[in-house]
């Protein structure tokens, strides 16, 4: 009986966590560069239950084992993986908005996943973080920063600083000032397998070991471009997310009803079957 309680409880916890992730996806449907999270639910390994009976044969005690059957211990949310598919590109008209556009990305032989490119940022610890959100602005000192104030880096890992936002960024990442003089190149990093990156808040990614990603420039089979005055939108499919959210809610509700049925059975076992007349 109690095994049923545990099985249903794990189902409710998994569906609750899935609901939270889907809700977060929907809340970021309009966030530039946001990558929706995908969930994977797995069952715990089945356990083979056996009954052990003791018999006496020729004066000796013999244990006989009879298989009862398999019992499943429930499910759990194994992992969440960001969907790295590119979002729609849309116009903003702002010079400091830049969209990264994937043209051709190599496939990682180990994972089978396509590589991904990111803007390079300098975080609070002085190491690099990465993002697809090109919604940049200039701070009070003329540094190009992201919405959280992290410095945008050039291809050499240096901060980008301008006198004003009257800049031009070509499709290959070259940056020109108002006199059409090249003053830098926007930094872009490449990850062979983006699934191993750690997803943080605000659309940021870090490497697991803290080692900076290599530059995307000059990488074999990596082709990309940039579009100034445009942003990459979120890749959340709002209609699919809503459908998945309702499905998760119904699954949670079904587990809840089973839990209530177990609770009533336990109540009868305690108050009626166990009653001494």
From the list 2, 33, 39, the residue with the least C-alpha distance to 241 is 39
Same domain membership, residue 259 and residue 157: no
DSSP 244: H
> Which segment of 31-35, 59-63, 201-205, 241-245 scores lowest on mean pLDDT?
59-63
Percent of the chain at pLDDT > 90 equals: 58
Same domain membership, residue 107 and residue 61: no
> Which segment of 70-84, 102-116, 142-156 scores lowest on mean pLDDT?
70-84
Same domain membership, residue 94 and residue 75: no
Q: Provide the number of structural domains found in the chain.
A: 2
Q: pTM for the full model?
A: 0.79
Range 269-275, long-range pairs (CB < 8 A, 24+ positions): 269/1
Same domain membership, residue 95 and residue 179: yes
Same domain membership, residue 261 and residue 135: no
Same domain membership, residue 107 and residue 6: no
pLDDT of amino acid 259 = 83
Domain that holds residue 59: 2-80+237-273
Same domain membership, residue 228 and residue 94: yes
For the stretch 224-237, pLDDT in tens is 999 999 999 999 99
- Cα(75)–Cα(52) distance, rounded to whole angstroms? 28
DSSP state letters, 100-165: EEEEE-PBPTTT-PBPEEEEEEE-TTSSEEEES--B-EE-TTSBEE-TT-PEEBBTTSPBPB-SSS
Same domain membership, residue 217 and residue 98: yes
Cα torsion for 93, 94, 100, 101, to the nearest 10°? 10
Q: Measured in Å, how far apart are the chain's first and last C-alpha atoms?
A: 25
Residue with tokens 């044969």: 57
Same domain membership, residue 194 and residue 149: yes
């Amino acid at each position: 009986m109690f095994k049923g309680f545990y099985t249903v409880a794990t189902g409710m916890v998994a569906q609750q966590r899935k609901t939270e992730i889907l809700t977060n996806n929907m809340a970021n449907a309009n966030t530039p560069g946001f990558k929706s999270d995908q969930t994977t639910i797995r069952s715990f390994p089945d356990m083979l239950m056996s009954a052990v009976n003791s018999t006496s044969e020729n004066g000796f005690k013999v244990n006989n084992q009879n298989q009862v059957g398999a019992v499943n211990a429930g499910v759990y949310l194994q992992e969440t993986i960001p969907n790295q598919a590119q979002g729609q590109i849309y116009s903003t008209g702002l010079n400091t908005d830049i969209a990264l556009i994937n043209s051709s990305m190599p496939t990682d032989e180990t994972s089978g996943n396509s590589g991904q490119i990111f803007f390079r940022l300098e975080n609070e610890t002085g190491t690099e973080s990465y993002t697809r959100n090109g919604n940049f602005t200039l701070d009070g000192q003329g540094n190009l920063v992201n919405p959280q104030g992290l410095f945008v880096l050039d291809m050499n890992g240096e901060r980008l600083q301008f006198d004003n936002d009257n800049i031009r960024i070509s499709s290959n990442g070259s940056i020109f000032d108002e006199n059409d003089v090249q003053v830098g190149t926007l930094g872009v990093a490449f990850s062979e397998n983006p699934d191993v990156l750690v997803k943080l808040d605000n659309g940021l990614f870090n490497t697991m070991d803290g080692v900076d990603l290599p530059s995307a420039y000059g990488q074999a089979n990596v082709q990309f471009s940039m579009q100034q005055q445009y942003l990459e939108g979120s890749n959340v499919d709002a209609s699919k997310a809503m459908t998945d959210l309702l499905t998760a809610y119904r699954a949670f509700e079904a587990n809840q009803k089973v839990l209530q049925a177990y609770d009533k059975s336990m109540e009868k076992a305690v108050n009626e079957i166990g009653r001494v007349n």
